[in-house]
Amino acid sequence: MEHLDEITLLAGRFAQLNGILKKNGDLISPLSCTLLPSPFPLQSLEFARSIQQDFNLLFHKVAGSHSFLESLMKHIIEHDDYMQHLWDIYNRVRQQDRMQDIFLGLNRSDYMLHQDPDMDPRLKESIDERLRRTYQSAQFHANTHYDWQGLVLRQVEFNLMASSFCGMSQRIVQQHRQCLSLCGFSEESLIRVPECNAADNFADAMATAVQLYLKECGQSSSGSSSVAAVMMIVSSAESNAYDQAALFASLVSRHPHIPVMIRTFEDLHATTGRLKLDDDLRLFVDGRHVGVVYFRFGYIPDHFPNEETWDVKYQLERSMAIKCPCIQYMLANTKLVQAALSKPSELAKFIDPSKPSYSHILSTFAKQFTLTDSFGLFDQEEVDQVIKNCLSDPHLYVLKPQREGGGNNYFDDELVTKLNSLLEQGDHFSYIIMERLFPFIVENFILTSPDPTKRHEMVSELGIFGAFIGLYPFPQSDVTESLDCQLSDVRSLSNPLCFEVKLHKSLQHPYSLSNQHGMLVQTYQPQGRCVVTQFY
């Protein structure tokens, strides 16, 4: 590529101009991002988008099933103080005479393009030629099943809590189109970078939630209210502040009548007197009425250093404000639940096996296993066999903590050491085993690397954003009443290749291998209060 030094210099300035930044203390610097979008088969991208609504509804149903959650959590809470606190808050809220039955989910489903290790070498060479580098992929319009035979979309995880990068992903589209222009790509090539309106869609979902809240909770014994704020809970040392700010910027520009607030747990400790609930459990912070609480913090034990912080969490959950996510969603957002749903018999509890969505969702799951038969998901013989396989062929598996929070996965020799340690300690509840994915490797440039002109091998991770507003006749029933609003969009992360999978994350966007693009809007009328809307 000619003049790469000049191109990367301009691209770095464009990244700053587009607000693709991170914060480290008082220091502001560019967020790690790739020079170009990475190639990705349009067929796989569209399939991931098409099933996002099914995943949103699936986890909404799971969160509403007390019997299902209890069957799994009763074994965990004996060994995990963090999960015990969450379960205690959940049960206390369930027993209230009045609770919020409107639930907002701002979710992200993460995938990798798994490459079959037994792929025909000739097909692998052909795919490498078309998919490995952006320059080569721009010459192809491959879009048939055979073109990508041997590449399978596999879900890494489903995130219902603090689904980050919706703000940056929307901005990276313009960034990558500018970089493609700098590199001499044609105008036809630029439109193959898919649109991403994740921040706008999330903002619209928040605004819809506020409207529903005011309709249901605006009137109270102490008077009526026509205004309610969205409050974001963040870390006091937040490095991803610009992604959060991009989301709030969309909310403020698209819905200027909705006030926004940013607070930490410490701001709301009881000793400050800033958090109050009225007789109808409506939430007020610093005297302002709050309709939606959006958590970008509070999903690992370190976020709750004391009982004061746990009490803030409880007060927010028991309030009539709509929580994103609510405590039920947090319980559903564990690797243990995802391992359970990967079993066809468990998935069938929530989705009719005769429906296409059942087979579509199941096709994205890698096999997952628990380390004990106590959960009723596997018998002891199956557990013993998978542990044996894991110890003899660790390169085929990943050991993952069942709690949400990201990272802390074990591979290869580290997996063997950790698994043996868990077995010796009798800890069969904190981790799950998952079949290892072998993602397709692409090549790209990283603007924030010491040498941005050096080509890196990377693993791409595709993320599909989905916004969901659902209703429960909860807690009397485990059945979902209706679905109000869904939106979906796309983002992806790419990582420089490291075989131990201790990866440095770098923001990028997929480059579809077709010139087809656009937005489809579908509207449905369910049996419920609102209309379902899908944005692609």
Annotated binding site for substrate: 244
Length of the chain: 536
* In contact, 472 and 497? CB cutoff 8 Å: no
Both structure tokens of 430: 């904190």
Which one-letter amino acid corresponds to residue 120?
D
Q: Which of 52, 78, 41, 113 is nearest to 464 (CA)?
A: 52
Both structure tokens of 264: 């930490």
* In contact, 337 and 73? CB cutoff 8 Å: no
Sole residue written with tokens 């050096």? 454
Q: Residue ranges for the binding site? A: 244, 335, 400-409, 461
Q: CA angle, corner 324, sides to 322 and 325, nearest 5?
A: 120
C-alpha to C-alpha distance for 342 and 351, rounded to whole angstroms: 12
C-alpha to C-alpha distance for 369 and 362, rounded to whole angstroms: 15
Q: Which of 81, 179, 52 is nearest to 507 (CA)?
A: 179
Sole residue written with tokens 């991170």? 22
* In contact, 324 and 106? CB cutoff 8 Å: yes
Q: What is the DSSP string of 26-40?
A: TEEEEPPBBSSPEEE
Q: Residue ranges for the binding site for Mg(2+)? A: 404
C-alpha to C-alpha distance for 15 and 10, rounded to whole angstroms: 9
In whole angstroms, how far apart are CA 137 and each of 46, 140, 443? Answer: 18, 5, 12
Residues facing 521 on adjacent strands: 535
* In contact, 368 and 362? CB cutoff 8 Å: no
Phi-psi region of 286 (alpha: psi -120 to 50; beta: other; left: phi over 0): left
434 membership: H or E segment, kind and range: strand 431-435
Both structure tokens of 421: 């340690």
C-alpha to C-alpha distance for 291 and 228, rounded to whole angstroms: 5
Q: Residue ranges for the binding site for ATP? A: 335, 400-409, 461
Angle between the N-to-C axes of helices 166-182 and 198-217, in degrees from 0 to 180, rounded to the nearest 10? 160
Q: Residue 511: is it exposed, middle or buried by C-beta count within 10 angstroms (0-12/13-18/19+)?
A: buried
